[in-house]
Amino acid sequence: MLTFGNITLKHGLFLAPLAGYTDRAFRTVCRALGAEFQTTEMVSSRALCYHDKKTPLLARIDQEELPASVQIFGSEPSFMAEAAAMVAEGMAGGAVPSAVDINMGCPVKKIVSAGDGSALLRKPELAFDIVKAVKRAISLPVTVKIRVGFGKEDRGVGIPAFAKALEEAGASLLAVHGRTRADMYSGEVDLASIAAVKSAVSIPVVGNGDIKCAADAVTMLRETGCDGVMIGRGAIGNPFIFAQIAAALEGRAYTPPTLREKMVVALWQLRLAASEKGEYTAVVESRKQFAAYTSGVRGASALRGRMNAITTIAEAEALCRELLQNSEA
């Protein structure tokens, strides 16, 4: 059981925010298949404050997604506080989020070069001020996503104190990716540093990084003592992972989805996206998702080139039928 604010989660199963992936369609699917909490793609505090027309749509959460949070990024406390106050009211006609999450872990060069994301790991006083300002601006719980260090040489060094400062500033929960900014998404996840963060704070800690199956989640929980797990890339094309982890934690048998069940969910996700973004945009963006849904499936590699050229839902449906026929032949 994981509790923060007025939110209680049975297993602490979080869908990580992933730019370009965790749109409302994917979040809706993951929620239906067992994710207990999800977060939007990261949203620029500056863009919100400057009233960019497209940004509120990124920050919109629908009622059926709850509990869920909006993740904001930036490095100016005043902008972060203003943006948090905006999203805490619900964006673009959507529901009020359950929490506001602050990104202090994104390793992408463009983000870091602007002083945002994981760049804040090197500026603990500024990070403290940002959390404090956001907490002062809203009544919702404030959560923070961090990494275990910036450069490889400071892996784990100072991160427990950094985490404690975030707690003192008002954070209600920390999600910790077990890599440094320098690691990007390669190398082994540092479970010991996540455990050190857990030992340093009294608020819930969620472990993140390379959770691709139930066994990975069980290892994360056992080795770090963290209160929950956050799944990012492991859920792409496999939103069923949340049910798999829940079954493992409850000691129940788990039956993996059939290829037909995977295709049903993939097409459902596509239709959800199309209802929001329009058919063409949704189909183009879904190509990478379809590739993930069909990874390792017999006959899928032969269709992948055609999959990357589809532009309509009808074409996607036809490819799914062909893949099913080929796999059952």
On whether both 102 and 246 belong to a single domain, the answer is yes
What's the whole-number mean pLDDT along residues 48-73? 94
On whether both 285 and 156 belong to a single domain, the answer is no
Q: Which H or E element spans position 313?
A: helix 313-328
Q: Is 226 annotated as catalytic?
A: no
DSSP string, 8-76: EESS-EEEPP-TTT--HHHHHHHHHTT-SEEEPSPEEHHHHHTT-SSHHHHT---GGG-SEEEEEE-S-
On whether both 26 and 62 belong to a single domain, the answer is yes
Parent domain of 267: 259-328
pTM: 0.94
| Residue 290: band (very low, low, confident or very high) from pLDDT cuts 50, 70, 90 | confident
What's the whole-number mean pLDDT along residues 253-278? 95
On whether both 61 and 18 belong to a single domain, the answer is yes
On whether both 289 and 156 belong to a single domain, the answer is no
* Active-site position among 30, 49, 106, 226: 106
Lowest mean pLDDT among 150-159, 181-190, 220-229, 233-242: 150-159
The total number of structural domains in the chain stands at 2
Q: What is the pLDDT of residue 329?
A: 55
Tell which residue, 36, 34, 86, 37, has the closest CA to residue 59: 86
Q: Is the pLDDT of residue 167 over 70?
A: yes
Burial class (CB in 10 A: 0-12, 13-18, 19+), 47: buried
d(CA 299, CA 313): 20
On whether both 88 and 181 belong to a single domain, the answer is yes
Amino acid (1-letter code) at residue 241: I
Select from 250, 271, 295 the last residue of a domain.
Answer: 250
What's the whole-number mean pLDDT along residues 77-101? 96
On whether both 25 and 105 belong to a single domain, the answer is yes
On whether both 230 and 302 belong to a single domain, the answer is no
